[in-house]
């Protein structure tokens, strides 16, 4: 994957790394966030759409255009997360027994072999460092990490990947860094980035962690159900969105928890990633899976 000139400067030169240290300061990040949420940033929207060739078909665009860049970046899509059940319906409904893609992006499945250091996009870290929880990390030894990389052109709203009960939520503050490959070669990005995760008890897949990871410049994670009347969530229910900044979603699954659809592997690109859409089925119904890890 080709990196931009600006990223090569920021991570590959001494002056660039000095500038980067300034850019990731909380005050700078907050100032950037205020600008991107202001009317002064609205002019960026048409340029961004052209540059990244974003398909605006089905986007809920307000009359008169988006009021700010972040209003555009967090846009809603009319067809997103359709078909979710109401809370009153049975958990044996349309998506029971399935694991779904929580977002648009590129999926990389990575086996976890014990509590060892392993790579996610050229970054080495342990599960314990990532979760800040030794006992929780041990639950996923010999399990599977599903890494979803969102690009600038992707839809930045995301949903729950499975039916389940949320056991707890955790927010981990961190330095905000770009998650593009050139950055990953220089610093332990996933260890340092801000992140939020929920630990869930699912009916079909056992214990599961769904984590959002923010990045430079702002990378703000906006989750919608941090305080809930009920802790039960439904697959394809909207979970939240990212404001501007590189972003990644991670699912952690226990050993032998899921079987994937064979068609997913047939779509791998030249980087070994699988293009996916938010709400897309990743597994067949239990007992009907045609391709297992």
pLDDT of residue 3: 57
Q: Which residues of the chain have pLDDT under 50?
A: 85-92, 120-122, 286-293
Which pLDDT does position 94 carry in this prediction?
Answer: 54
State the catalytic residue, choosing from 194, 247, 283, 284.
247
**Choosing from 104, 163, 283, 284, which is the catalytic residue?**
104
Q: Is 129 a catalytic residue?
A: no
pLDDT at 57: 86
Determine the pLDDT at residue 166.
93
Q: How far apart are CA 162 and CA 1, in angstroms?
A: 31
Number of H helices, E strands in the chain: 10, 15
Cα 253 from Cα 139, distance rounded (Å): 9
The three-class DSSP label of residue 71 is: helix
Strand partners, 253: 144, 208
37 is catalytic: no
pLDDT at 125: 66
Q: Average pLDDT, whole number, for the chain? A: 79
Residue 123, C-beta contacts closer than 8 angstroms, at least 6 positions apart: 184, 188, 189, 190, 191
Axis crossing angle, helix 5-12 with helix 14-23, rounded to the nearest 10: 90
Q: For the whole model, what pTM was predicted?
A: 0.82
Please tell me the number of Cα atoms within 13 Å of 11 on its side-chain side: 19
Dist CA 99 CA 189 (whole Å)? 27
Residue 8 has a pLDDT of: 72
Q: Which pLDDT does position 279 carry in this prediction?
A: 87
């Amino acid at each position: 994957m080709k990196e931009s000139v600006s990223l090569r400067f920021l991570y590959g030169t001494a002056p660039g790394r000095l500038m980067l240290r300034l850019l990731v300061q909380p005050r700078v990040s907050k100032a950037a966030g205020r600008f991107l949420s202001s009317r002064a940033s609205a002019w960026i929207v048409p340029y961004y759409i052209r540059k990244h060739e974003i398909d605006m078909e089905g986007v809920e665009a307000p009359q008169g255009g988006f009021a700010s860049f972040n209003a555009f970046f967090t846009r809603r899509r009319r067809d997103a997360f359709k078909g979710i059940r109401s809370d009153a319906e049975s958990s044996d409904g349309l998506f029971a027994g399935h694991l779904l893609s929580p977002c648009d992006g590129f999926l990389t499945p990575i086996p976890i072999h014990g509590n060892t250091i392993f790579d996610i996009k050229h970054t080495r870290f342990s599960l314990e460092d990532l979760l800040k929880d030794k006992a929780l990390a041990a639950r996923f030894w010999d399990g599977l990490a599903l890494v979803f990389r969102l690009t600038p052109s992707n839809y930045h709203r995301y949903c729950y990947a499975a039916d389940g009960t949320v056991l707890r939520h955790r927010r981990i503050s961190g330095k905000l860094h770009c998650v593009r490959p050139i950055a990953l070669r220089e610093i332990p990005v996933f260890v340092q980035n801000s992140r939020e995760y929920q630990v869930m008890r699912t009916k079909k897949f056992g214990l599961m962690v769904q984590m959002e990871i923010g990045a430079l410049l702002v990378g703000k994670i906006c989750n919608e159900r941090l305080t809930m009347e009920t802790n039960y969530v439904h697959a394809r229910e909207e979970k939240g969105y990212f404001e501007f900044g590189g972003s990644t979603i991670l699912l952690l699954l226990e050993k032998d928890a899921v079987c994937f659809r064979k068609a997913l592997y047939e779509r791998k690109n030249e980087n070994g990633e699988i293009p996916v859409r938010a709400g897309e089925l990743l597994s067949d119904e239990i007992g009907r899976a045609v391709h297992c890890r």
